[in-house]
Amino acid sequence: GKGGDGAGTVRGSAVTSSVAKGVSEPKDDSATAEVINALADLFQEKMAIANQRKQDSNAMFIKGDYRGSLAKYREIESMMMLLSRKVESELEEVKSLANPKVTLENDAGARMAGSNETVMEALLQAVLVELIEALRMAGICYGRLKQSAEELTSLERALKICDKHGSAMSRVALLKVETLNAIGTHQMRYTSASDAVKTLEAARLAVVELKKEQVPGAERPEASCLTNLGTAYSKIGESTKALEVMACALEMKRRVGTPMEVGTTAINMAGLHRQNSDNDGAMAMYEEALESVEKAEKEGDGNVELKKAALVNLHNMCEFELPVMTFNENDGGGNAAAAAREGRPTELAKEQLANYARAATYRAKLGQIVKDIGRSAPGCDCPICLDTIKGSEAPVLSDDHKAPPHETRVIVLPCLHFMHVECYAKSNRDQCPVCREAV
């Protein structure tokens, strides 16, 4: 507390790793200690409010209430902006006064010698981190609300603060990388992929410098940056570069990311493989994405949209997008003819049936998702020909080892409506014939 001898304690917030306590030694300037104590009390009060606002905002964001989440982040922004101005002003005053030594104690209990100025700078960094994060998240909320101009304005304000303070404050420098990453994503959506590449490459270079300085925590924002950079390169037609960058991102996510982050990056990489007609690579990435999201589900952090995307792509690739061979056609070595004479299926036929069986497994999981979201389970009629759609069963070889009829194969659209492949091929492929959702 505040004592008559001028000694004081700076009581920081648990959300900061910079400073929790600062005890003046010796009691050289009681006025300075009083300033620090007053700011510490104000800091702790505002941080407690900000933490509650963030919890409320995060809950709203997860539920899709982006407008409510935005309002909370704007409240944090306003609060931290006023607090940062006050701390900066007092810091200038402290710099002109005597600077007795203090002991700093961070949240981990580590102690180091410093000055009152050091304590004030630690407080300022903690406030700026909250301000930048509030601006960045407000920008993301604006993006979800399709308010692109406001999104960019909020992100650029965050970046301006990062540019001003990032060279001296490592945590602010890390947030600069995340802010550049968000701006690059915005540019991919609204301006040009070429602009996004430049912005994301700048973020990548910033991370390189942080890693040279051995700043902890640099790998996570680097992985996110590389994921978006890979997407940007693919949009400007540099597929080889895109795959190279995305592979680096996935490797980092496997080391330091959550299962959901691994799954998201794997889905993105699968899309790049498909663009390059690499079905094997795409299947491997979709399978990793599905495995990751199912692991996240067990940990209470699942995402049904990501799971749905992985399953739909895996199902459709196995059911009809992988090369389809007739069961007794020549496979290049005369094996098919011999197999036909001996009354057994060719290796190609076995492989194709294996793909159909895998598709049936994925279709069963998709059917469960359909039930979970409250729709009628698949297995009724094709909405186009009105014939029965097969459920989770896999095709089997006929007595003469011929392929199942093509019209029995099923496509699953992103909206989770099931129909025969051949029926869908005869319809308007730009939208689902049932719900009219764009495909």
Percent residues over pLDDT 70 in the chain: 74
Which of 24-28, 54-58, 252-256, 412-416 shows the lowest per-residue confidence on average (mean pLDDT)?
24-28
Give the pLDDT confidence score for residue 158 in this predicted structure.
96
- End-to-end alpha carbon distance in the chain: 64
Closest CA to 421 of 404, 436, 438, 437: 404
More confident residue, 345 or 3: 345
pLDDT of 19 > 70? The answer is no
pLDDT of 354 > 90? The answer is no
Give the pLDDT confidence score for residue 148 in this predicted structure.
94
> What is the rounded distance in angstroms from the CA atom of residue 394 to the CA atom of residue 380?
16
Selection from 110-119, 186-195, 327-336 with the highest mean pLDDT: 186-195
Give the pLDDT confidence score for residue 72 in this predicted structure.
95
Give the pLDDT confidence score for residue 28 in this predicted structure.
46
More confident residue, 332 or 15: 332
> What is the rounded distance in angstroms from the CA atom of residue 337 to the CA atom of residue 86?
85
Mean pLDDT of the chain: 78
Reported as a pLDDT band with limits 50, 70 and 90, residue 116 is: low
> What is the rounded distance in angstroms from the CA atom of residue 371 to the CA atom of residue 238?
41
Check if the beta carbon of residue 266 is closer than 8 Å to that of residue 306.
no
> What is the rounded distance in angstroms from the CA atom of residue 393 to the CA atom of residue 367?
12
pLDDT of 251 > 80? The answer is yes
Render pLDDT for 33-70 as a digit per residue (tens, 0 to 9).
Answer: 777 777 888 888 998 999 999 999 989 988 889 999 99
Q: For residue 120, how many other CB atoms are within 10 A of its CB?
A: 27
Render pLDDT for 158-180 as a digit per residue (tens, 0 to 9).
Answer: 999 999 887 777 888 899 999 99
> What is the rounded distance in angstroms from the CA atom of residue 224 to the CA atom of residue 200?
10
Q: What is the mean pLDDT of residues 203-222?
A: 88
Q: What is the mean pLDDT of residues 73-80?
A: 95
Q: What is the mean pLDDT of residues 248-271?
A: 93
pLDDT of 341 > 50? The answer is no
Q: What is the mean pLDDT of residues 326-350?
A: 50
Percent residues over pLDDT 90 in the chain: 40
pLDDT of 198 > 90? The answer is yes
Radius of gyration of the chain (CA): 29
Give the pLDDT confidence score for residue 330 in this predicted structure.
42
Please list, residue by residue across 334-371, b when 16 or more beta carbons sit within 10 angstroms of its beta carbon and e when fewer do: eebeebbeeeebbebbeebbebbebbbebbebbbeebe
More confident residue, 165 or 3: 165
Q: Is 343 left (phi over 0), alpha (psi -120 to 50) or beta?
A: left
Give the pLDDT confidence score for residue 236 in this predicted structure.
94
